[in-house]
A = this chain, B = another copy of it.
Amino acid sequence: MSRHIVIVGLGLIGGSMAKALHGFEDFDLIGVDVSEPTLRYALEQDIVDRVEPDPVKALAEGDLVFLCLHPQGIVDFMAQHRDHFKPGAMVTDVCGVKGAILEGAKVLPDTVSFVGGHPMAGTEFSGIQHALVNMFHGAHYILTPNDRSRPEHVELMERLAVHIGCANIVKTTPENHDAIIAYTSQMMHVIAVAVCDDPSLFQYQGFEGDSFRGCTRVAALDVPLWTQLFTMNSKALGSALEELEGNIRTYRQAIEAGDTTTLVEKLSYSAARKRKMNRLELESGAVGREGKKPKV
């Protein structure tokens, strides 16, 4: 008898996870979504083996449950369905914040083991129609296991990450994950929207080059998702932004004062750091999409 993976939320990531999980050990795939057309599409395209509109029924069979909803949706789902998980089940998520999710997972009964996860991949699109079987190829899979995560479940996640093509698994604390993400990703999104809020945006349109496009590309973001990601990681993101504000202010003050000595010193420091980073990145072979490295 095969085991069952239940994927709750068949969006871009849930759909990609389903596609990538085909043939993983003896699992079959049950898709859960509130949208009837999404379920029909998932079935027609063979993205899952079965669909189940009622999460309670699906959870009763789920040996491994993937929560692929928006952050707040994951927290709410766990609270609402805390008593519906199959005893012995492993529950995981794919969310870009971890502290708030781990906090939410505390409602789960002792019969269930939760391992927080973040496969670092994505595109600027959303919805199952844009799901990709190779979405996770070369990506980092970050896991935040704790003392409630059973070792055999962590091992299962490690095999699963290999199956879907991840370059590596990184185990860390929720706090460290959230600090990493605040700096490497969330702050980039705040910068992009902050630049686009300037009244000059349309006034000077047509004069922007690659540096402007590179900096602002991600400003066309999914508002409800990023509102949740930002506020559910407010501590780490707030402190990254405060550091950035201070750094920009220091540059501005040196520029306004015409203090070329300080400016040369600071720019030399920063440019050297960036060059060193480029070297390290080249050596490690990192390239490509959000958080992706080529598979090694």
Chain A residues at the B interface, C-beta cutoff of 8 Å: 120, 140, 179-181, 183-185, 187-202, 204-221, 223-224, 226-227, 230-231, 234, 237-238, 240-245, 247-249, 251-252, 255-256, 258, 260, 263-264, 266-271, 273-278, 280-281, 284, 286, 288-293
Name the CB-closest residue of B to A198: B243
12 contacts between A and B (CB under 8 A): A180-B200, A184-B209, A184-B212, A196-B270, A210-B290, A214-B214, A219-B271, A234-B255, A234-B256, A238-B255, A241-B251, A245-B252
Q: How far is the CB of A289 from chain B (nearest CB, A)?
A: 6
Main secondary structure of the interface of A (DSSP, over half): helix
B243 touches A248 (CB 8 A): no
- A215, A245, A270, most chain B CB atoms within 10 A: A270
A223 touches B277 (CB 8 A): no
Bound-state CA distance A260–B179 (Å) is 21
B248 touches A194 (CB 8 A): yes
Q: How far is the CB of A173 from chain B (nearest CB, A)?
A: 14
Q: How far is the CB of A192 from chain B (nearest CB, A)?
A: 7
Name the CB-closest residue of B to A211: B188
List the B side residues contacting A190 at CB < 8 Å. Answer: 248, 251-252, 255
Name A231's contact: one of B200, B260, B274 (CB within 8 Å): B260
List the B side residues contacting A263 at CB < 8 Å. Answer: 227, 230-231
- A207, A226, A256, A281, most chain B CB atoms within 10 A: A207
Name A291's contact: one of B207, B216, B220, B275 (CB within 8 Å): B207
A120 touches B207 (CB 8 A): yes
B210 touches A288 (CB 8 A): yes
A198 touches B244 (CB 8 A): yes
List the B side residues contacting A205 at CB < 8 Å. Answer: 277, 280-281
Bound-state CA distance A241–B246 (Å) is 12
A271 touches B223 (CB 8 A): yes
Q: How far is the CB of A155 from chain B (nearest CB, A)?
A: 23
List the B side residues contacting A237 at CB < 8 Å. Answer: 252, 255
